[in-house]
């Protein structure tokens, strides 16, 4: 674990149990998404179906208000 990640966990411990659970779910979602993305990119020719499913999931998240409009410098 990196020092920065350990610091983030240490700070998160100060939050309420509800806030910690929400943050944990966000982290798990991000990690799983990142792992799927890495797997997709590691294949020589990503299957179109996988990319289409990822695009549909992104559009669904947008429709559900789970996304935010921001520029590359705001990531």
So where are the chain's domains?
A: 31-63
Whole-number pLDDT of residue 46: 58
pLDDT reported for residue 70: 82
Contact by Cβ (8 Å): 22, 30: no
pLDDT in tens, 32-51: 999 988 887 787 665 677 77
* Residue segments in the chain with a per-residue pLDDT below the cut of 50: none
The pLDDT, as a whole number, for residue 59 is: 93
Max CA-CA distance within the chain? 45
pLDDT at 5: 95
The secondary structure of 9-51, three-state, reads HHHHCCCCHHHHHHHHHHHHHHHHHHHHHHHHHHCCCCCHHHH
Residue 37: the pLDDT is 86
- Report the alpha-carbon distance of residue 19 to residue 25 in Å, rounded: 10
pLDDT at 44: 67
């Amino acid at each position: 674990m990196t020092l920065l990640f350990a610091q983030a966990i240490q700070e998160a411990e100060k939050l309420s149990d509800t806030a910690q659970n929400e943050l944990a779910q966000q982290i798990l979602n991000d990690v799983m998404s990142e792992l799927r993305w890495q797997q997709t990119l590691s294949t020589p020719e990503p299957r179109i179906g996988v990319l289409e499913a990822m695009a549909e999931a992104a559009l669904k998240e947008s429709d559900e208000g789970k996304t935010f409009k921001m520029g590359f410098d705001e990531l």
